Amino acid sequence: MKRFLDFLTNSPAAVTTAVLTALGIVAFAVSGLHAAAWIIGLVLCLGVIVALLMFHGEWRRAQRQIDALRQQLSVELGRMDTPGLTPVEESVELLPDERRARRILELLPDSGGLVQSLRLDATFGTLAISELEPLHTFCDEFKKTSFDNPRSHTAFMNLYRSAEALSLWVNEETQVAPADSTTREIRPGDTREDGWREYTEARGRGERLSDEFVSSRWEFNQTALELGLVSGAPPFTE
């Protein structure tokens, strides 16, 4: 009960409702205002309705925060060793969201591979085929995947959409380099219908898609860390 009263005290909507109620009592107590009582009552009722809608929104936001904190607490409690017991030397069963997050970050590591290459090569030159394979694998493997936690699912969907767009761009706008069969490069202008203007546009779009991919991958990693999905995570194994 005390927590609920504290919530009401710190809620602008609840305070507004209380003030409007007090003003209504005072207004109707003044005999000189009785002629306009119905106008005053209508205005106050509208104000109370708006305040109640605000209060409902605040209550729902508070409940979502509580649910998120409870889930985070359950994740952390699941990682704690039981006091007084000797740890068992066996692999810990991961939650579904943890397995998904670790698999994704294994396919798209930050310290090497495609993510690092895109971050270092701002001009978007050539890309190693071996670095592009995990990108295509990620798009195929996680095509119908969803996360249980709404926040991690939003971050995942942003990452998946950017990865899928980049994967499609690679397939449509690049080719195996003639001088090096282990890399792909943007198709030159002399092989395009609109020539080098089309090449410039394709290159610009590739740079934008790669920036979005790197950014969404970073956001997904931060979200996974904050939710405890990959904190201190060992390498993913099947």
Task: Return the pLDDT at 80.
Answer: 52
Band (162; pLDDT cuts 50, 70, 90)? very high
Task: Return the pLDDT at 65.
Answer: 72
Task: Return the pLDDT at 47.
Answer: 73
User: What's the rounded mean pLDDT across residues 127-143?
Assistant: 95
Indicate the range of 4-18, 89-103, 170-184, 219-233 predicted with least confidence. 4-18
Q: Collect contacts of 135-141 with beta carbons under 8 A, ≥24 apart.
A: 135/108, 135/163, 135/166, 135/167, 135/170, 136/167, 137/107, 138/104, 138/107, 138/108, 138/163, 139/163, 139/164, 139/167, 141/103, 141/107
User: Tell me: the pLDDT tens digits for 185-205?
Assistant: 999 999 999 999 999 999 999
Share of the chain above pLDDT 70, in %: 66
Indicate the range of 62-76, 122-136, 215-229 predicted with least confidence. 62-76
Task: Return the pLDDT at 31.
Answer: 65
Task: Return the pLDDT at 59.
Answer: 64
User: Tell me: the pLDDT tens digits for 43-85?
Assistant: 767 777 776 777 667 667 767 777 666 666 665 655 554 444 4
Instruction: Name the average pLDDT for the chain.
Output: 80
Q: What are φ and ψ of residue 109, in 5° steps?
A: -70, 155
Task: Return the pLDDT at 127.
Answer: 87
User: What's the rounded mean pLDDT across residues 132-158?
Assistant: 96
User: What's the rounded mean pLDDT across residues 158-183?
Assistant: 94
Task: Return the pLDDT at 233.
Answer: 45
Task: Report the C-alpha gap between 234 and 232 in whole angstroms.
Answer: 7
Task: Report the C-alpha gap between 233 and 215 in whole angstroms.
Answer: 22
Task: Return the pLDDT at 204.
Answer: 93
One-letter amino acid at 189 equals G
Q: Is 88 a residue whose pLDDT tops 50?
A: no
Band (234; pLDDT cuts 50, 70, 90)? very low
User: What's the rounded mean pLDDT across residues 132-154?
Assistant: 95
Q: Is 123 a residue whose pLDDT tops 90?
A: no
Among the listed residues 58, 56, 73, the one whose alpha carbon sits nearest the alpha carbon of residue 228: 73
Task: Return the pLDDT at 179.
Answer: 87
